[in-house]
Chain A
């Protein structure tokens, strides 16, 4: 889980496997962003899920949002080497201040 952690977590899987990253947030929110950051680059939004969606898909990505447990997850199906990156969850807690979690460093091994 990302929130409340100061340093990023690390996950390493084989190409073709599925992976899920989790994020728990502190207070109620209606939207969770998932960003991906490649080495030497700024984060880029990959999927945004709102509280009325519970689940959202984009290609091999699947995000969930459970407001009752204040948690979100990002799953990648059949991971590929190009999925290697750091993944962050973020939320605005109802205002404009986008707050990021510590991140998960995902490595896909060939």
Chain B
């Protein structure tokens, strides 16, 4: 079974530039999460989806961040105008809540550096 796939693996940009992160979850997983993990901190939830619907995006900085999952499979997280404070690893995770499995399966993440 293929795991959660994320791309790109690394991204380096200047403040004000835009960047997109892509996530392919495990097949059949209905729930998809995006986490931000600053260096030496735990993952912090940004947004999560059930199928194509956003369930909770309360921690997503809405003025610059957006996330979509149009067909309930792959997802894209976009930062419109990056700031140095956005420097972190962005992790995607998926799970199947239909069986209350409660296990999150993470990708390896995208390490973002904003100069």
Contact A42 B102 (CB under 8 A): no
Contact B93 A42 (CB under 8 A): yes
**Chain B residues, CB < 8 A from A90:** 42
Contact B104 A88 (CB under 8 A): no
Interface status of A92 (Cβ within 8 A of chain B): yes
Q: Return the 9 tightest CB-CB contacts between A and B, nearest first.
A: A42-B106, A100-B42, A100-B43, A45-B103, A102-B42, A103-B42, A8-B40, A42-B91, A43-B106
CB A103 to nearest CB in B, in angstroms, measures 5
**Chain A residues, CB < 8 A from B25:** none
What are 10 sample pairs from A and B whose C-beta atoms fall under 8 A apart?
Answer: A7-B40, A7-B41, A33-B103, A40-B108, A41-B108, A42-B93, A42-B108, A44-B105, A90-B42, A105-B40
5 extra A-B contacts, CB within 8 A, seeds A43-B106, A97-B45 = A43-B43, A43-B91, A44-B106, A96-B31, A96-B55
Q: Which of A80-109 contact B (CB under 8 A)?
A: 88, 90, 92, 96-103, 105
Which applies to chain A's interface (DSSP): helix, strand, loop or mixed?
loop
Determine the residue in chain A with the shortest Cβ distance to B44. A100
Q: Which of B27-75 contact A (CB under 8 A)?
A: 31, 33, 35, 40-45, 48, 55-56
**Chain A residues, CB < 8 A from B109:** 41-42
CB B48 to nearest CB in A, in angstroms, measures 7
Tally of B interface residues using CB under 8 Å: 24
Q: Which of A1-42 contact B (CB under 8 A)?
A: 2, 6-8, 31, 33, 35, 40-42
Determine the residue in chain A with the shortest Cβ distance to B109. A42
Determine the residue in chain B with the shortest Cβ distance to A38. B108
CB A46 to nearest CB in B, in angstroms, measures 11
Interface status of A48 (Cβ within 8 A of chain B): yes
**Chain A residues, CB < 8 A from B114:** none
Contact A88 B42 (CB under 8 A): yes
> Considering the chains assembled together, what is the distance between the CA atoms of A103 and B42 in angstroms?
6
CB A104 to nearest CB in B, in angstroms, measures 10
